[in-house]
Amino acid sequence: MEKNKTKNRREFIQGGVRLSLSLALGGISGMAVSSAIKDDYVWQIDPFLCTQCGKCATDCIMAPSAVKCVHAFDLCGYCDLCGGYLKPDANEQSTAAENQLCPTAAIERKFIEEPYFEYHIDEDLCMGCGKCVAGCTSFGNGSMHLQIVHDICLNCNQCSIAQVCPSDAISRVKASEAYKVKGDFTNKPEV
Amino acid sequence: MNNTEKLKLSENIAVIAGIFSITVALLLLLNFWQVSKSDPIESKALIALVDRLKQEPNNEELKVEIRNFDLLARKAYFNSQWQVKTGAYLLLFGAIILAFALRVYYSLKAKIEQPDIVLENEIASRILAQKGIIIVGAVVLALAFGASFATVNHLNYYNVESETAGSGEKSVDESIQVIEVGEVPKQVGGSTEQNLTSETSGPVQPEIVFVENSVENEAETVVKSEVPKLATTGGITLADVQKNHNSFRGPLGQGVVAHKNIPSEWDGATGTNILWKSPIPKHGYNSPVIWGNKVFIAGADDSSREVYCYNRADGKLLWTGVADNISGSPAKPPKVTEDTGLSAPSLTTDGKRVFAIFGTGDVIAFDMNGKRVWAKYLGVPDNHYGHSSSLITWANKLLIQYDTNRGGKAVALDAATGEVVWETVRKSKVSWASPVLAEIDGKYQLILTADPIVAGYDVETGEELWSTDCMMGEVGPSVGYSDGVVYAGNEYAILVALNPKDGSIIWENDEYLPEASSPLAHDGLLIIATSYGVLVCYDAKTGEQFWEHDVGTTLYSSPMIADGKLFMMDNDGMMRVYEFSKEMKLISENDLGEIAGTTPAFSDGRIYIRGDNNLYCIGK
Amino acid sequence: MVINIMKKLKYIFITFYFLLSTFYLFSQEQRFPKPEFETGYEQPSTITPEPRALALEYFDVLILIIVLSLASYFALKKRSRQGILWLSVFTLLYFGFYRNGCICSIGSIQNVVQSFFDPAYSISVTALLFFIIPLIFTLFFGRTFCGGACPLGAIQDLIVVKPISLPKWLNKTLGLIPYIYLALAVLFAATGTDYIICRYDPFVGIFRMDAKFHMVVLGISFLLMGMFVARPYCRFLCPYGVLLSWMSRFSKWHLSITPAACIQCKLCTNSCPFDAIDFPTNEKEVIKSGLGPKRFITYAVIIPLWVAAGIFVGAKSHTFLSKANPDVYLAELLISQPELKNDPENIDIETFLASGKSMETLVEEAEAIRADFYIGSMIAGGFIGLVIGFTLLNTVVFRRRQDYEPHKGNCFSCSRCQDYCPVEK
């Protein structure tokens, strides 16, 4: 009889605690839901904040990095003398290795018509070092810029590049607007 | 298969899988180590080869060598990536087999054992657990506590440090030290210094200047607290700067000089009208400045930075001042391009001291006899071509435009001591333009241009009075100023006329844009020189074009107006003299016989031109 | 004077540019406007592969619910070790190797915490569901999540080869670590410093087949250790396990070793690799040992002391804890070593100086973060003190137990013990 009593009491306490725990869980989820969004998050680089420090190439958990150079053709000047393709004081304007800025030769230079050349990034070779981006931004239009490419990015809960990015250029963006490709200069924030 | 055979089999598989996994793991580790040791992509050898190619641009063998090496490096890189990837899969595969085989092995081997008769003594283990928890808890807390004592809260030191630095947050300044080298005779107080200054108008004899300078040093050390007050009232007058040519582009940096009888014909080859020619020891792109009977220029190379003082009358090099032993200044000068050099900014002088700034970030003041007064290191200007903003002085202050890739600022140093009077952080990027002074509403303003703002600053306080967001790119031209309007322009950007009272844009034009040469405004006309060789004259009020002249050579120098004539030097050393009017009228073309891209300095009846290797005095 | 300031390169640009501007009115913004092609060149479009579809993320949640239901069914109803085993293989393959271990319930703690403290961050529903669903299941069925639905648990469970039994005192003492880890993880997530759970997840590198060198070493050493000390991460590190353990202690139902009455055969005692089976109490021994009410009162009374000590130490520790924050770190570095400003190798400092942000602002921000850390580490310290106090108290609480029962807080619901029980239904 007494045993039953203690058992009942224990069950009662257990039930009570269980109830309060579920209330607590409900409270937490309620609070979180109030600010939750249905969309998912992905990481992306703001090209206007990026300073091409080179950490994207070294700090991504992927090797090679999920950060790749993308080329906004709308912005490109199709220059013969491309600051993103050629070394700053290149020996000559050719595709020879000694003139190319890209360490992995990931940029393809294609002649279109005098004096224009199209530049195309081979994503398989690009490792996101941003050397071409730095060149294009300082000498050209800045049509080349770094972006996190989402078919490679594993979308870590905490992006390890974002953690070390010196210019805080990497942030969570909504998955429905997963890229910050430079469309035109109107996107440029006030400096 | 019986149980023993199965056992044997699983054991063998486990051993093989284990050896396989360990081998792959070791290979992977080796690969990791190799990659971390030498990233084939950042190969030092390749960089060295490319550097060598810069020295020998036509070495075909070297090119082939680079190409082969580059291919090898890239192959190595992608190979190592492939190896890591493949190795990881192999390791995973091996590990799965190993785990599976081991599980089978142990499950076959395992018999349901008779449970131990004496199980762990519950009570004893609980007592042990209590001890363990207390010890661990105490250790964790003690460790954290100890660590908290071992750490320094550096943030606490921030305020202390900035107070001693005297000027708020200014990052670079914390490392700056002022060195006073001038002699300090025992003499006089602050107020006399002020009187003396106002008396020193016109060309001053160097001896007098020297004494005054020493006096001021004394004044500084005795009544330090009064320094800002002195600075606000004293200084050179407009008459002083008009009599002399104390800064880049003459009085207030506006490009208009008051001197008369300026010769308009000379020839370097025949020596016609060349009064003297004097060699310049070290190269530099700065332009001559004049005070009294002295001409000042500077030169620099990687080994030293020097200021030269020439006698205006005969071109004799009077003294050479060396900017060395400046506290904080790095032993190795920063990398600058050859066409900028370490001595692109022009000097300035207030008749008591001559001031110089170099691409190293060193600012130095000499007295008129070449004695060092003070020196200051501003931190290496982060500038991919080299710092080139010239100095200017007003109201006992040395005004410095210090726009670098790390952000812009304007700095005013006390002319006598080099101490910071004010410092204003600008929302600007790097700039190669020079400061210009202008009197607006009875107040002298320092007008600066850079990407992206043209802005005016109160010379006394450094307060930003107005700022207009209109520039972009790598701004080389300084502003022009005339009749209450500021003219600013840059290649690829725009040419604007601004109202400095509110920063509003009066008109803009983008047909001809200067790249290095500064706009010159005077008497209703605006002169622009593009780097590709077109000299253009606009109506300063409306921006309507009056005339243009395509000279066909590079124009980096800034136009100057003297004696009703327009003087325009090109990069080949040819100076064209035009009539300064609404109609294009070329008076003469005068070849210096030496390349020169600098801006000339003027005095009565004389032009002083810095050629690549010589300083010229032109006159009748 | 500004003379030849531009490089030769730029001079060539000018000529090039001039060529262009003859037939194209240039915009002021672009240095080199896009040319108008005469040969009918078609401009390719910039390729931007879409991220994983949102529907698939919700599909993951569905999978999680199904796996959790199955795990609960296998553990509580079906009593099938085989079922749990294959379920964990599936979990390992799906959530581990296919989904690369991200997002997981363990890491989602930090997302929930950040959504409370960072007004700029709102949690995504999927992350919230990953956090909350396993907790709800645990509140009803015990830690079936650990048994079947957690990829980290699965990989460790599958490599258990020859588990050794750890003495109880060691289990208890090491059991304190997850609480400390949880407190730190919450502190760092709340202050926007870091997601340490994700950063130091030892297995995620294995799931991704790619990681930093030290993380690979850590992962492999955990696996090697896990062959003999079963589930080391789950037992002695997992911060989510702390929450699950709280839920599980009060779960409505829980796996039982025997389907009917225990026959005291003791066969199950060696079956649990995690030392999570409680033995029947020997009441005589308890009374004899003196670990009775007296000790209980002593330990209960010193709980506030533990808490106070924790708060005190926490308050003291906030300085070094906050150094983990990149902003604080940068500010301190600039203050303590101003000469680094001239070091072109230090990218962080270089970028900061180039950003034009003033030192004052940086220091203000760093001070604000440090102030947050002050409060946060006091709370974390107090929490750790409380946990130590209660764990201590728990060692003198004796439940009257006649049978061999799983410890509800520590049992991972792996169903191993059920295999050993000879009792038929």
pLDDT at B213: 42
Residue A170 pLDDT > 90: yes
How far is residue C204's CA from residue C145's CA, in Å, rounded to a whole number? 18
Q: Are residues A92 and A12 part of one domain?
A: no
Q: Say yes or no for a CB contact (<8 Å) between B133 and C6.
A: no
A-B Cβ pairs (cutoff 8 Å, strict): 40
Of A32, A81, A151, the CB nearest to C128: A32
* Whether C377 contacts chain A with CB within 8 A: no
Q: Does residue C2 form part of some domain?
A: no
Question: Residue B115: what pLDDT?
Answer: 56
pLDDT tier, B116 (very low <50, low <70, confident <90, very high otherwise): low
**What is this structure's pTM?**
0.65
Tell me which H or E stretch contains B192: helix B190-199
Residue B166 belongs to a domain: no
Give the length of chain B. Answer: 620
Q: What is the pLDDT of residues A132-169, one digit of tens each?
A: 999 988 888 888 999 999 999 988 888 999 989 998 89
| Neighbours, chain B (3 or more CB pairs < 8 A) | A, C
Give the residue from B59, B75, B109 where a domain finishes. B109
Q: Give the residue numbers spanning the domain of A116.
A: 41-187
Distance CA B437, CA B255 (A): 11
Helices (H) and strands (E) in chain C, counts: 20, 2
Q: How far is CA C410 from CA A20, B159, C97, C274, C279, in A?
A: 21, 51, 27, 8, 14
Pair C230, C316 in one domain: no
Secondary structure of residue B566 in the 3-state scheme: strand
- Nearest-Cα distance to chain C for A72, in Å, is 6
Distance CA C335, CA C318 (A): 18
Residues C197 and C338 in one domain: no
A123 and A144 both lie in a single domain: yes
The residue range of the domain holding B493 is 179-619
Split at pLDDT 50, 70, 90, the class of A189 is very low
ipTM of the complex: 0.85
| Chain C nearest-CA residue for A68 | C48
Average confidence (pLDDT) over B6-20: 91
Angle at C234 between CA C231 and CA C236, to 5 degrees: 95
Q: In terms of CA atoms, which chain C residue is nearest residue A75? A: C34
Residue B35, CA distances (Å) to A59, A125, B73, C157, C361 in order = 15, 17, 12, 33, 40
Confidence of residue B119 (pLDDT cuts 50, 70, 90): low
Judging contacts by C-beta atoms under 8 Å, the chain A residues touching residue B67 are 96-98
Indicate the helix (H) or strand (E) that contains B520: strand B520-522
Among B316-330, B508-522, C231-245, name the one with the lowest average pLDDT.
B316-330
- Tell me which H or E stretch contains B310: strand B305-311
CB contact under 8 A, B53 and A138: no
Same domain membership, residue B189 and residue B313: yes
Q: Model confidence over A30-83: pLDDT tens digits?
A: 888 887 888 888 999 998 889 898 899 888 988 889 999 999 888 888 888 888
Q: Could you tell me if residue C11 is inside a domain?
A: no
Test the A interface: residue of B31, B54, B61, B469 with most A CBs within 10 Å = B54
C168 contacts chain B (CB < 8 A):
yes
- pLDDT band of residue B112 (cuts 50, 70, 90) is low
Domain membership of residue B433 (yes or no) is: yes
Q: Any CB–CB contact under 8 A between A166 and chain B?
A: no
Q: Is there a single domain that holds both residue A29 and residue A48?
A: no
- A3 — pLDDT class (breaks 50, 70, 90): low
Interchain contact, A103 vs B71, CB within 8 Å: no
Q: Are residues A70 and A160 in the same domain?
A: yes
Low-confidence ranges of chain C (pLDDT < 50): 1-9, 11-12, 14-28
The continuous run of DSSP H or E covering C406 comes out as strand C405-406
Q: Distance between terminal CA atoms of chain A?
A: 80
* Residue C41 placed within a domain: no
Residue B217 C-alpha, separation from nearest chain A C-alpha, in angstroms: 42
Name which of A97, A138, A191 is nearest B70 (Cβ-Cβ).
Answer: A97
Which pLDDT does position B38 carry in this prediction? 65
| φ, ψ of residue B549 in degrees (nearest 5) | -140, 115
Interface test with C, best of A4, A109, A156, A171 (most C CBs within 10 A): A156
Residue type for A116, please?
Y
Q: H or E element: which one contains B585?
A: none
List residues bridging with B414 in a β-sheet. Answer: B397
User: Which pLDDT value is given to residue B201?
Assistant: 41
Record the tokens describing residue B526, joined without a space.
Answer: 């605006």
B576: domain CATH number is: 2.130.10.10
Backbone φ, ψ for residue A20 (5° rounding):
-70, -35
In a domain, C37, yes or no: no
Could you tell me which chain C residue has the CA closest to the CA of B141? C313
**Is there a contact between A150 and C51 if contact means CB atoms under 8 Å apart?**
yes
SS3 category, B115? coil
Q: Read off the pLDDT band of B111 (50, 70, 90).
A: low
Would you give the DSSP letter of residue A188?
P
Q: How far is C403 from chain B (nearest CA, A)?
A: 14
Q: Domain check: are A17 and A106 in the same one?
A: no
Across chain B, what does the average pLDDT equal?
82
Residues B498 and B455: beta-carbon distance below 8 Å: no
CA-nearest residue of chain C to A35? C122
- The distance of B505 to chain A (nearest Cα, Å) reads 19
- B77 contacts on A by Cβ (under 8 Å): 104
Contact at CB, B597 and C282, closer than 8 angstroms = no
Residue B298 to residue B305: CA distance in whole angstroms: 8
Task: Please indicate, yes or no, whether residues B453 and B550 belong to a single structural domain of this protein.
Answer: yes
Tens-place pLDDT, residues B123-171? 788 888 888 899 989 999 999 999 988 888 888 877 644 434 433 333 3
Gyration radius (Cα) of chain C, Å: 29
Same domain (yes/no): C148, C225: yes
Count Cβ atoms within 10 A of the Cβ of residue C234 and give its class: 0-12 exposed, 13-18 middle, 19 or more buried: buried
Asked whether residue C44 is assigned to any structural domain, the reply reads no
Of B238, B234, B243, B237, nearest in space to B202 by CA: B243
Q: Are residues B513 and B492 in contact, defined by beta-carbon separation less than 8 angstroms? A: yes
Is some CB atom of chain B closer than 8 A to the CB atom of C66? Answer: no
> Which of B109, B139, B165 marks a domain boundary?
B109
pLDDT at B234: 54
Asked whether residue A11 falls in the same domain as residue A50, the answer is no
Q: Which domain holds residue C301?
A: 288-394
pLDDT of residue B16: 94
- What whole-number distance in Å separates Cα of residue B414 and Cα of residue C384? 58
With CA atoms as reference, the chain B residue closest to A99 would be: B50
Q: C168, B125: Cβ pair inside 8 Å?
A: yes
Reduced to 3 states (helix: H, G, I; strand: E, B; else coil), residue B412 is strand
SS3 C57: helix
Residue B222, phi then psi, degrees to nearest 5: -75, -55
Within chain A, where are the H helices? 2-35, 55-59, 131-139, 160-164
Same domain, C218 and C82: yes
State the pLDDT at residue B503.
86
Residues A55 and A28 in one domain: no
Token representation of residue B490: 């840059």
From the candidates A65, A79, A100, A191, which should be mutated to test the interface with B, based on the most B CB atoms within 10 A? A191
Are residues B185 and B36 both part of a single domain? no
Question: Is C217 within a domain?
Answer: yes
Confidence of residue A10 (pLDDT cuts 50, 70, 90): confident
Domain count, chain C: 2
Identify all chain B residues contacting C286, using CB atoms and an 8 Å cutoff: 123
Chain B environment of C317 (Cβ under 8 Å): 144-145, 147-148
Count of the separate structural domains present in chain A: 2
For B185-219, what is each residue's pLDDT tens digit? 344 444 444 444 444 444 444 443 343 444 444 43
Residue C39 belongs to some domain of the structure: no
Residue C258 and residue C134 in one domain: yes
Q: Are C151 and C204 in contact (CB under 8 A)?
A: no
The stretch B260-276 carries a mean pLDDT of 88
Sign, CA torsion B121/B126/B132/B136: positive
Q: Is residue B17 exposed (0-12), middle (13-18) or buried (19+ Cβ within 10 Å)? A: buried
Residue of A nearest to B50 (CA): A98
Residue in A with minimal Cα distance to C249 = A14
Chain A residues touching B467 at Cβ < 8 A: none
Cis peptide bond upstream of C103, omega within 30: yes
Do C190 and C120 share a structural domain?
A: yes
pLDDT at res. C6: 44
- For B120, the closest of C2, C167, C310 (CB atoms) is C167
For residues C234 and C299, membership in a common domain is answered with no
Q: What is the mean pLDDT of residues B102-120?
A: 68
For residue C371, give every residue at least 6 positions away whose Cβ sits within 8 Å of its Cβ, in sequence order, or none.
none
Same domain, A24 and A106: no
Number of domains in chain B: 2
Residue C45 lies in a domain: no
Number of Cα atoms under 13 Å in the Cβ half of residue C31: 24
Q: Is A105 on the interface with B (CB under 8 A)?
A: yes
Kindly determine whether residue C6 and residue B145, on different chains, have CB atoms separated by under 8 Å.
Answer: no
Asked which of B93, B109, B125 is the last residue of a domain, the reply is B109
Is B154–C336 a contact, with Cβ atoms under 8 angstroms apart? yes
Q: Which residue has the tokens 């996994």?
A: B21
C67 with C209, same domain: the answer is yes
The reply to whether residue B474 touches residue C172, judged by beta carbons under 8 angstroms, is no
How far off is chain C from B447, nearest CA to CA, in Å?
16
Check pLDDT > 80 for residue B222: no
Say yes or no for a CB contact (<8 Å) between C49 and A116: no
Tens of pLDDT along C109-160?
999 999 999 888 888 899 999 999 999 999 999 999 999 999 999 999 988 8
Give the span between the Cα atoms of B197 and B201, in whole angstroms: 8
CB atoms within 10 A of CB C253: 12
B42 shares a domain with B189? no
Is C253 in the same domain as C297?
no
Of A61, A71, A166, the CB nearest to C351: A166
Clarify whether residues B58 and B197 are in a common domain: no
Decide if B555 is inside a domain: yes
Nearest of B482, B493, B573, B495 to residue B529 by alpha carbon: B495
Considering the domain boundaries, does residue B165 fall inside one? Answer: no
